[in-house]
Structure 1
Amino acid sequence: MLTPFDDFPIHQTPEPIAQTVSADPNHYDRYFFDGFDQDGRFFIGGAMGHYPNRGVIDAAFSIVIDGVQHSVFASGLMSFDRATTVGPVTIEVLEPLRAIRFTVAANEHGPSCDLVFRARTAAIEEPKQRIVRNSVPIMDYTRLTQWGTWEGTVDVDGTTVDVAPESTFGVRDRSWGVRGVGDQVATNFPGGAPQVFWLWAPLHFEDRCTHLAMFERADGTRWMESALIVPTLAGPDAPTWGDVTEPTEVGDITYDIDWIPGTREMASARLGFRDADGVEQAIEFERLFTFRMRGIGYMHPHWSHGSLHGELEVGGESVRLEDFDPQDPSCIHIQTLCKVRMGDAEGVGILEQLAFGEHGPTGLTGVVDGYRSAG
């Protein structure tokens, strides 16, 4: 089937754009956003995914404010032209790799918003993330990450929250490829206990940004890591792709995480690394509060990414932060908003944590069991 995108010179296969390179039901194409007031007044998150081989588009928006996480979800039938609207949620690319508009129309289920993300850095491409199990690729995707500011308004429970670019920072990513979404195809392969340990830490400082992405096995061996110092744009018209100042890779990455007892959520954390000049550096994380990724569909029991909801379904939820069950699988994937310090520089950002299964270096046991001190 031909669609309007076929009028652009962007083809990667001999097929029309609407036809994916494979029939893998886990093929996806997703937007992700987060944003936070630098003083911890609120945290916002958004997502939209297309799943062409499932015929699904879904999206969500969530805000944590005054100790409550409010979310609105939408899922429906994906159009072949990859339209970026589902229910009340719309994403508009104002300028590729520079400005994105995220809107949620007024609705009876949860918050609404009119927000614009503007780039503070060039976009970076993270290392390929690929897992093959039983000779089957179960994760194989590319992701770009970009730091920026937010401006606009959010309406929640009859109150308008002003989002100011000078005090609201955030990160957005785009990822595409293969990743487990929706109901999985049954196979005859033997099952195994789930295990993933993932840390992701995009941080904002006044004159630079930093990045960490890391996967580890249960014994602490790393199968993917990247740590960068990312320069901020020289000005509002500076290029965000192509002829840009490249990030600086740093090495010898270490971390220490103190878990809140009974949870898989950080109480405090520290990252260590050696910069390009060979000097040892450290970033200290001071926890403010945690945003549950279920609020934008990640492993949500009803609104999980790629799940089937017919022609269109819209819903919402509001949950006090203290009411989330730390051992509910849908609450394990989190982003903790933190004040951060690197030497004399102070900043703000998140430490994303996703820890299923055992992880020897940080003392986690079981599948979702909360941390228990050996003493």
Structure 2
Amino acid sequence: MLTKGDDYPLHQTSEPIAFAGTDRNFYDRYFFNGYSPDGSVFFAAAMGFYPQLGIVDASFCVLVDGVQHNLRASRRSGGERLDLSVGPISLEIDAPLEVITLRIAPNDGPLTAELTFSARHFPIEEPRFIRRNGTRLFMDYTRMTQNGFWSGRLSVDGRPIEVGDGWPGTRDRSWGVRPVGAREPQPPPEGNFSQFFWLWTPCNFADRSLFFHSNDDGEGSPWNRRAVIAGERGEQHFDAATFGIEWQPGTRRVARMTADLGGGRSLALTPTGPVFAMSGLGYTHPHWGHGLDHGPEPAVAHDSMAEAERAWGNPLAMHIQAFVTAELTDGGITHRGVGVLEQMFVGPHAPTRLTGLMEPAS
């Protein structure tokens, strides 16, 4: 099967571009977020390709005035990897690794947009994520992350919102293997994973960007952790960072997080605004999960989530991003900025006092 991608020097195997190895869970994905400097407007977008499943899906969400508006779309791909459009959602790579434009064409829902992301620095390549469940490969993917600034416009129910040149945000690209599409009919003999601890903190400061993430097991040992500062001195990596969490009472949501990066650098993050539910982008969504087939015709859907629907306890709001104010202390100087704290906590995590499957923190 030949496609447009075969005219570009992108092949990774002896097969045409349409074929990506043999694992049905292979995916190739874009993610974006952006926010006003005060956090009053938050938006996010994603687009995922699933070559073995023959599906491509996308989503765009805007959180404003306490309501999260969600647009989701899906279609069958026919193996084509270079058609970056799904329903009203499209991407244009203006300058690879530097500038990307996101467009939401007028549709029968409340959201439209034309937004351009301009990078602040070269992308950070995170350590490769590899996780096995017994003998079965659960995750094996590479991810690059990059902070930048947005410009353009969006509208919600006809209300225009100008996105100034100073609106910060983050994008990532990841590709490899992780669970996508319909559930596999035969789980591993050990059962499916019932523990997943995930923190990700892309932050924007005036003269630098900071990224910290951690995937931990139930005992608190990290199986993937890294802190990076990208600025005028290039990339500074901190492989031995540690963190602490204060919980919102009666929840598994972070009230405050601190991290010791090492080398006399420390980070403090405090959520200050409404939370964004990642289910708007398909994560853990029962109907619009990543790679699900919605039939031979393109599918588009819209819904919204009020603030109460994004409160702790709703399964669609267990995986969230929270706007945060950030303080980075470096050599006695404190830099103040803003960012996002992504969090998903399932199962136990001994250092932060999480027990059971979804019991609130003690």
> Any idea what SS the aligned residue of 1:127 has?
coil
Secondary structure, aligned partner of 1:199:
strand
What is the letter of the counterpart of residue 11 of structure 1?
H
Give the structure 2 partner of residue 323 of structure 1. 309
| 1:108-154 deviation line (CA, Å, top 9, x unaligned) | 23411110100011111110001112212111001111110011111
Q: Secondary structure of 1:247's match? A: strand
| CA displacement 1:345-372 (0-9 Å, x = unmatched) | 110101111111111111222222222x
SS of the counterpart of 2:165?
Answer: coil
In structure 2, the partner of 1:99 is 99
Q: For residue 285 of structure 1, what is the aligned residue in structure 2?
A: 269
Tell me, in whole angstroms, the C-alpha distance in 2 between the residues paired with 1:145 and 1:357: 27
AA at the equivalent of 2:298? L
- Could you tell me whether the CA contact under 8 Å between 1:77 and 1:312 is conserved in 2? yes
Matched, 1:355 2:345: yes
The letter of the residue matching 1:320 is A
Tell me whether 1:299 sits opposite 2:284 in the alignment.
yes
Q: Which residue of 1 aligns with 2:24?
A: 25
CA distance in 2 between partners of 1:348 and 1:222 (Å) = 25
- For 1:111-260, what aligned pairs fall within 5 Å after superposition? 111-166=111-166, 168-187=167-186, 189-192=189-192, 194-231=194-231, 246-260=234-248
Cα deviation for residue 193 of structure 1 reads 5.2
Q: Is the 8 A contact 2:201 2:341 kept in 1?
A: yes
**Secondary structure in 1 aligned to 2:59?**
strand
Aligned residues: 354
Look up the equivalent residue of 2:248 and give its one-letter code.
I
Query: Alpha carbons of 1:192 and 1:2: their partners in 2 closer, same or farther (altered >3 Å)?
Result: closer
1:70 aligned to 2:69? Answer: yes
Q: Deviations over 1:279-315 (max 9, x none)?
A: 2x22111212211111111111221111111121111
Q: Identify the residue that residue 337 of structure 1 maps to in structure 2.
A: 323
Provide closer, same or farther for how the CA distance between residues 160 and 226 of structure 1 changes in structure 2, counting only shifts above 3 A.
Answer: same
C-alpha distance in structure 2 between counterparts of 1:263 and 1:273, whole Å: 26
- When residues 191 and 251 of structure 1 are mapped into structure 2, their CA distance, relative to the original with a 3 A threshold, is closer
**CA 1:340 to 1:314, structure 2 compared with 1: closer, same or farther past 3 Å?**
same
What is the alpha-carbon distance in structure 1 between the residues aligned to residue 237 and residue 17 of structure 2? 35
Query: The residue matched to 2:145 in structure 1 has which SS?
Result: strand
Alignment partner of 2:24: what SS? coil
Shift of 1:25: 1.7
TM-score with structure 1 length normalisation?
Answer: 0.91
Equivalent in the alignment of 1:52: 51
CA distance in 2, matches of 1:51, 1:160: 34
Q: Deviations over 1:19-72 (max 9, x none)?
A: 1111x2211110000111111121110000011111111000011111111110
Could you say what secondary structure the match of 1:322 adopts?
Answer: helix
Cα gap change, 1:325/1:339 in structure 2, threshold over 3 Å: closer, same or farther? closer
CA distance in 1, matches of 2:9, 2:215: 36
**Are the structure 2 counterparts of residues 325 and 345 from structure 1 closer, same or farther at C-alpha, using a change threshold of 3 Å?**
closer
By how many angstroms is 1:229 displaced? Answer: 1.1
Q: Secondary structure at the match of 1:6?
A: helix
Deviations 1:179-207 (A, max 9, x none): 10121222262425510101111111111
Q: Structure 1: where are the runs of 5+ without partners?
A: 233-244
Partner of 1:239: none
In structure 1, the partner of 2:250 is 262
Amino acid at match of 1:346: R
CA pair 193-228 structure 1, distance change in 2 beyond 3 A: closer
1:151-181 residue CA offsets vs partner (Å, 9 max, x unmatched): 1111102211111122x10110010110101
Q: Which residue of 1 aligns with 2:38?
A: 39
1:346 aligned residue (312, 336, 339): 336
Deviation at 1:326, TM superposition (A): 1.8
Distance (whole Å) between structure 2 residues aligned to residue 157 and residue 25 of structure 1: 39
Q: TM-score normalized by structure 2? A: 0.94
Q: Which runs of 4+ in 1 moved over 4 A?
A: none
State the secondary structure of the residue aligned to 2:351.
Answer: helix
Contact 2:67–2:307 (Cα < 8 Å) also in 1: yes
Shift in Å, 1:5? 1.6
CA contact (8 A) 1:115 1:152 kept: yes
CA–CA separation in structure 1 for the residues paired with 2:190 and 2:327 = 46
SS in 2 for 1:366: coil
Map of 2:357 onto structure 1: 367
Distance (Å, rounded) in 2 between the aligned partners of 1:356 and 1:214 = 14
